[in-house]
Structure 1
Amino acid sequence: MMLRTFALLGCLAASSMVAYAAQPVNLQTQALTSSPRLNSQSVAVVDSQTGKLVYEKNPLQTQPIASITKLMTAMVLLDAGLSLDEPITITEDEVDRLKNTSSRLSVGSTLTRREMLLLALMSSENRASASLARTYPGGKAAFIAKMNQKARSIGMRNAVFHDATGLDMRNSATAMDLVRMVKAAYQYPLIRQFSTTHEYIAHPSATRVLHYKNSNPLVREGEWDIGLSKTGYIEEAGRCLVMETTMGSQRLIVVLLAANGSAARVNDAKSIKTWLEAHPNSWLSG
């Protein structure tokens, strides 16, 4: 599908996250030539400073978002101000009985809340993310309610959350909703740091050592300037990726949803970067 440039998303002040999130999407377009063919079914690329929507492909189509969910999980956790040094032990409650996914964090594994957050953001560790919701004041129900409240507060009008991991296919949003979520999450230094950490050695027990790597190959390879990253995958959502990154001389928020094939989302990101940098006069701001 031909990708198109968009006008400004209203008067978006770079210094105001809430004002940014509240703007309606402007669907006035100006076609660019030779747009890349992308595998992802829903795409939005936005200048993170001006709010200019640079590319789109079905940006208002609601999609399951899989582990992109964990950015909201991280924001709700950090908003609560809980001790990040408190140890958390994985229990049977964290075992995935919805999709029966596995985890290297076996029941009884203990890490600090900080480490659980790191593994959730960096490696998309589902049990780590679920443990953050379980140990929230009021438990999982209160945590999920706060996720949905937070979504509304930052302008994610079409987003809904049913769990803290993204394994629940009912967790859904549009690409434009996720632009707003990335914009909000970028305001948290720990989310920026943890989501772009290359690797981490965890010690969940006295005898176990686990080596985790970032789930985004573009982060691991170290050739891109990435300020925030999150991958996601369940069968219903396909391969998903959101990033805050540099293309050309601009900081951009990139949202790629519903790609099929393990490398498709990364290939799409590379195609967008190559195409943008080949047409700088078409989109670069001053």
Structure 2
Amino acid sequence: MFFSLFAGVNPAKAEAALNVNADGAILVDGETGKVLYEKNADSVLGIASMTKMMTEYLLLEAVKNGKVKWDQEYTPSDLVYKISQNRELSNVPLRADGKYKVRELYEAMAIYSANAATIAIAEIIGGSETNFVKMMNEKAKKLGLKDYKFVNSTGLNNRDYLGQHPQGTGPEDENVMSPRTVAKLAYHLINDFPDVLKTASTPKKFFKEGTDDQIKMDNWNWMLPSLTFGYEGMDGLKTGTTDFAGSCFTGTASRDGKRFITVVQNAKDANGQGTHKARFDETRKMLDYAFSNYSKEELVPKHYQVKGHKSVPVIKGKDNQVKIYTKSAIDMVVLNGEKENYKPVLVLDKKKINKKGELTAPIKKGETVGYLTIEPKNGEKVSFLTEEGQKKIQVDVIAAQDVEKANWFVLMMRGIGNFFGDVWNGISSTVKGWF
């Protein structure tokens, strides 16, 4: 087991007062999940159609595992057909006797936030939406999410289900999550299944193109570069709006090797009104801040040696010490000009060292003897969404050379030498005590 000098994380604070006008918001680095700004990040709030990110995750996982195929066909259930006809909700109308491929249902969900298509996917994966909701909550637990409740696959209020909402949920129930949890779900989604961004970044597409049922699907993410509030590098991820949740948006954008994820829940404009524009304006504030103020820096180079710890003592070896260095570099997004405000922290593997801090030969070149991480010199802790993200600023420390085990004769002679050395030291101490 490793022992760590880098325990616990505390909430990060942005250096600039962003004044994000939303009930909850968060900004994180998309690669590591490092938290750069937060506002009421642990408040449990409505999420509306941002729910569909979990449905997307479960679908992409099912496809990856071979449980669902993209060209698999589906015929709408009575519920899916009825909801698909309600154009007051975001939907692509489906025929009761139609056949639809999983891929086109997925595209309708990810691009157009089509609700009936989402329920269809839930039925395909779970057999029923009731069972699928159980899968959603189980997956959330496995992903380490906190502060969440899923009651349906879509993010609609259960009243929109016309009395056919998932069993075990209430007729007025809605899905809820905290901004931190939404960001964590988005982080897992784009890192575990990066191809989701190819679909999420599609500005428009025709459903059932070339048929009598053709319908144009305009992406609700109006921050995609070619749309109304276009933002350079924006390629995802999911909007959401209900009376309960307000105007919500999980965004992600990439530029110059940097990716950021943002979440706003119940965003409002200067007049206190929740509008589509408001959620994009508040997202833009965070992304502008991130791209302008943060840079990706190499904080520790490959083969770095910690001052005062360039080698570790070795027992029972031909050499009495071994040089150690980092296996790879550590890169992290940091505020501009603050690269020097971080220090390296060496952590040796307790399983490999004795109480005196010594390694035991033989040791192979490249053998891992511990790890190196970094922390702010001012004693603050860096906050990450996940343990996996935190480990991205942690690299193995390895032996730089072989140390062979000494043969029995050498070990015996050393033992004899140590014995007489101890005897002589004892005599010397006694003699000194006489004077």
Residue 217 (structure 1) aligned with residue 222 (structure 2): yes
The answer for the alignment partner of 1:105 in structure 2 is: 93
1:31 is displaced (CA, Å) by: 6.0
Query: Within 1, Cα distance between the matches of 2:209 and 2:14?
Result: 53
Q: Measure the CA separation in 2 of the matches of 1:253 and 1:73.
A: 19
1:99–1:59 distance in 2 versus 1, CA, 3 Å: farther
The equivalent residue for 1:185 is: 189
Q: How many residues are treated as equivalent by the alignment?
A: 264
| From 6, 11, 15, the counterpart of 1:32 | 15
Question: Contact 2:249/2:264 (CA < 8 Å) preserved in 1?
Answer: yes
Question: 1:52: Cα distance to partner?
Answer: 2.1
With 244-253 and 168-177 compared, the bigger mean Cα shift is at 244-253
Q: Secondary structure at the match of 1:189?
A: coil
Query: How has the CA–CA distance of structure 1 residues 204 and 126 changed in structure 2, closer, same or farther, with 3 Å as cutoff?
Result: farther
- Using the size of structure 1 for normalisation, the TM-score is 0.82
Query: 1:234: which partner in 2?
Result: 242
Alignment of 1:1-286 (within 5 A): 26-27=10-11, 29-30=12-13, 32-33=15-16, 35-80=17-62, 81-94=67-80, 95-96=82-83, 101=89, 103-108=91-96, 109-168=98-157, 169-186=173-190, 187-203=192-208, 206-219=211-224, 220-221=226-227, 223-246=231-254, 250-259=258-267, 260-280=274-294, 283-284=335-336
**Equivalent-residue separation in structure 1 for 2:14 and 2:232 (angstroms):** 27
Q: 1:92: Cα distance to partner?
A: 2.7
- Stretches of structure 2 that go unaligned for 5 or more consecutive residues are 158-172, 268-273, 296-333, 340-435
1:144/1:114 Cα in 2 relative to 1: closer, same or farther (>3 Å)? same
1:96-151: CA deviation from partner (whole Å, max 9, x where unpaired): 49997363314435421111011101111111101111222432122111111111
Q: Any conservation in 2 of the 1:224–1:245 contact (CA below 8 Å)? A: yes
The answer on whether the counterparts of 1:110 and 1:205 sit within 8 Å (CA) in structure 2 is no
1:226 aligned partner, one-letter code: M
Provide the rounded CA distance (Å) in 1 between the counterparts of 2:293 and 2:126.
Answer: 50
Give the conservation status (yes or no) of the 8 Å contact 2:55–2:118: yes
Q: Secondary structure at the match of 1:251?
A: strand
For residue 58 of structure 1, what is the amino acid of its counterpart? N
CA gap of 1:49–1:104, structure 2 versus 1, over 3 A, is: closer
1:50 to partner: Cα distance: 3.1
The verdict on how the C-alpha distance between 1:204 and 1:99 changes in structure 2, with shifts beyond 3 A counting, is: closer
Runs of 4 or more, structure 1, over 6 Å off, are 97-100
Distance 1:100 1:201 in 2: 19
Task: Report the aligned-residue RMSD.
Answer: 2.9
1:65: how far off?
Answer: 0.6
Residue identity matched to 1:73 = T
1:122 to 1:24, Cα distance in 2 relative to 1, 3 A? farther
| Superposition deviation, residue 223 in structure 1 | 4.0
Which has the larger Rg? Answer: 2
Contact kept? 1:155, 1:177, Cα under 8 Å: no
Structure 1 CA distance for aligned equivalents of residues 87 and 174 of structure 2: 13
**Residues in 2 aligned to 1:24 and 1:100: alpha-carbon distance in whole angstroms:** 47
| Separation (CA, whole Å) in 2 of partners of 1:205 and 1:57 | 46
Percent of counterpart pairs with the same letter?
23
Q: Is the 8 A contact 1:68 1:241 kept in 2?
A: yes
With normalisation by structure 2, the TM-score equals 0.55
